[in-house]
């Protein structure tokens, strides 16, 4: 993700979710990737494919976390 810059006005409020999403996807060596706390995922043929996989991945992680919470109750 080197070389990416985000410019905003001081008066603009930016959520942490927006900042994570803005830097999550990047292109390298002709492929698209996305980053998570667990590591990098890719390459994908285009950004849309990377975004679709990221939605699938975050849904899976959410499901796993919910299952863990139910188990620990």
Residue 5 lies in a domain: no
**CA angle centred on 58, ends 55 and 16, rounded to 5°:** 95
Q: State the average pLDDT for the chain.
A: 78
Residue 27 lies in a domain: yes
* Rounded Cα gap, residues 33 and 27, in angstroms: 6
Helix (H, G, I), strand (E, B) or coil at 12: coil
Residue 9 lies in a domain: no
On the question of pLDDT at 32 being above 60, the answer is yes
Residue 43 lies in a domain: yes
Q: Are 6 and 19 within 8 A, CB to CB? A: yes
pTM to 2 decimal places: 0.64
Domain count, the chain: 1
On the question of pLDDT at 34 being above 90, the answer is yes
Please state the rounded mean pLDDT for residues 14-31.
70
Residue 21 lies in a domain: yes
Q: Please give the residue range of the domain that contains residue 46.
A: 16-71
Residue 20 lies in a domain: yes
Which residues are CB-neighbours of 19 under 8 A, at least 6 positions away?
6
């Amino acid at each position: 993700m080197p070389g990416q810059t985000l410019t905003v006005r001081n008066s603009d409020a930016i959520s942490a979710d927006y900042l994570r999403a803005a830097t999550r996807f990047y292109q390298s060596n002709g492929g698209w990737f996305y980053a998570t706390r667990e590591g990098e995922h890719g390459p994908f043929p285009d950004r849309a494919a990377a975004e679709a996989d990221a939605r699938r991945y975050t849904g899976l992680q959410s499901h796993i976390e919910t299952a863990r919470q139910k188990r620990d109750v």
